[in-house]
Amino acid sequence: MAKVGFIKLGNLGMSQVVDLILDEIAARKGIEVMSFGTGAKM
């Protein structure tokens, strides 16, 4: 099992793009994805 972590800082628009990519990666078996983000919550 592979573990992948991302730290998202700042730019709100970019964070949404990264979330979409991580969702596709997380759908695969054998990969665990964790994401941490900062910035404004909407």
Structure tokens at 17: 């793009």
The reply to whether the predicted model has a pTM over 0.75 is: no
Nearest-Å Rg of the Cα atoms of the chain is 11
Q: 31-37 and 2-8 as β-strands: parallel, antiparallel, unpaired?
A: parallel
The kind and range of the H/E element at 24 are helix 12-26
pLDDT in the model for residue 13: 57
What tens-digit pLDDT sequence spans the chain (42 residues)? 788 777 777 766 566 777 787 777 767 788 887 777 776 665
Q: For the chain, what percentages of helix, strand and coil (3-state, to nearest 5) are there?
A: 35, 35, 30
